[in-house]
Amino acid sequence: SQQGEEDPQALSIQEGENATMNCSYKTSINNLQWYRQNSGRGLVHLILIRSNEREKHSGRLRVTLDTSKKSSSLLITASRAADTASYFCATAPYTNAGKSTFGDGTTLTVKP
């Protein structure tokens, strides 16, 4: 099974609301990354958080990491229709950091 698993699988909210997505993983990690994929093929890197960090911010994005629970969350505040996309977490294992494992993603729909 996938190392990183996102929850929920799908999320639908109104513009202006906050969206929270969660990621759980199984083994020790070097870092955890969040990506966005719009319909189409390209993935865009959002935030990388290292195992010794607990929280990172980037604009309207906030990522938390709880290594004791092996989980991370991505919060998008004041969502916009343009935030509609699939969001993936990827975990880089502690002992083999190059072998990133992606979950199946959370599909976020932001209604105008």
Partner 1 sequence: GAGVSQSPSNKVTEKGKDVELRCDPISGHTALYWYRQSLGQGLEFLIYFQGNSAPDKSGLPSDRFSAERTGGSVSTLTIQRTQQEDSAVYLCASSLSDVHEQYFGPGTRLTVT
Q: Which residues bind partner 1 (CB under 8 A)?
A: 2, 30-31, 33, 35, 40-45, 48, 88, 90, 92, 96-105
Between 12 and 14, whose beta carbon lies closer to partner 1? 12
Phi-psi region of 60 (alpha: psi -120 to 50; beta: other; left: phi over 0): alpha
**Distance of closest approach, residue 16 Cβ to partner 1, in angstroms:** 28
For partner 1, give the closer residue by CB, 42 or 112: 42
The single residue listed with the structure tokens 């969001």 is 87
CA nearest to 32, candidates 84, 97, 77, 106: 97
Q: C-beta of 68: minimal distance to partner 1 in Å?
A: 21
The CB-of-103 to partner 1 minimum distance in angstroms stands at 5
Residues in contact with 112: Cβ distance below 8 Å, sequence separation at least 6, in sequence order: 15, 81
User: What's the rounded Cα separation, in Å, for the pair 89 and 60?
Assistant: 17
Query: CB of residue 88 vs partner 1: minimum separation in angstroms?
Result: 6
Residue 19 or 89: the one with the smaller Cβ distance to partner 1 is 89
